[in-house]
Amino acid sequence: MSKPRSHAGTCLGILLGIALALTLAYVLLWGVGAILITSDPLRPAEALVLLSGGGKDRLEEVVRIYRQIGADVVLLTKAEGSRAENWNADELVSKGIPGEAIHITRRRASSTYEEARYTRETLEQLGMKSVLVITDPYHTFRTRLIFWSVYRGSGIEVRVRAVQGHWYRSTTWMLSRRGWETTLSELMKLVGFIVGVRGD
């Protein structure tokens, strides 16, 4: 007849089970964040695109990239209900980017999909053949899918670059409420785009 398991052995088994479950949960959540974040290597492009939104992080990243690799054009997008593009243009000039290099899309966009459409229009008019789109890390995967879809057949090479040193990281997003809200929102928008929603 086998001896009953000791109380200590039972507790150890429970603790090991909890530790394994937490580890698996962390790996799964890390994987979700890793999928959302995609960033192409930094190499020269004829145009840099600064997507609207995202606070000053995106703008500062555009300045850093411009100083490193330069560009013929820095293209800003207009957002519905906002006039931030004019402030952004002034900020870029104050940080050393020539005013003649800065362009702004003619139409106001209400979604990333529309930003892709309007930037394509402008870049085709300017004769650009390569573009680097700068946005927040959690927004990069969806941005890549949207821009590749919209720019198909344009002859313009599209690359996407995540803002460096950003608060959103695949390893830590799950540790804050902001991280959860951002991730769930982005996942819903990503699913929406995949099933054909073009409104965000």
Parallel, antiparallel or unpaired: strands 130-135 and 102-109 = unpaired
Q: What is the pTM of this model?
A: 0.86
CATH topology of domain 36-194: Rossmann fold (3.40.50)
Does 46 have pLDDT greater than 70? yes
Query: Average pLDDT over the chain, rounded to whole?
Result: 91
Residue 71, classified by CB atoms within 10 Å of its CB into exposed (0-12), middle (13-18) or buried (19+), is buried
Record the tokens describing residue 135, joined without a space.
Answer: 């946005």
What are the domain boundaries of the chain?
Answer: 36-194
CB within 8 A of 96, min separation 6: which ones? 63, 67
Residue of higher predicted confidence among 180 and 1:
180
pLDDT (0 to 100) of residue 5: 55
149/151 Cα distance (integer angstroms) = 6
Of 9-23, 80-94, 146-160, the least confident: 9-23
Question: Greatest CA separation found in the chain?
Answer: 88
pLDDT (0 to 100) of residue 1: 47
pLDDT tens digits, 140-170: 999 999 999 999 999 999 999 999 999 999 9
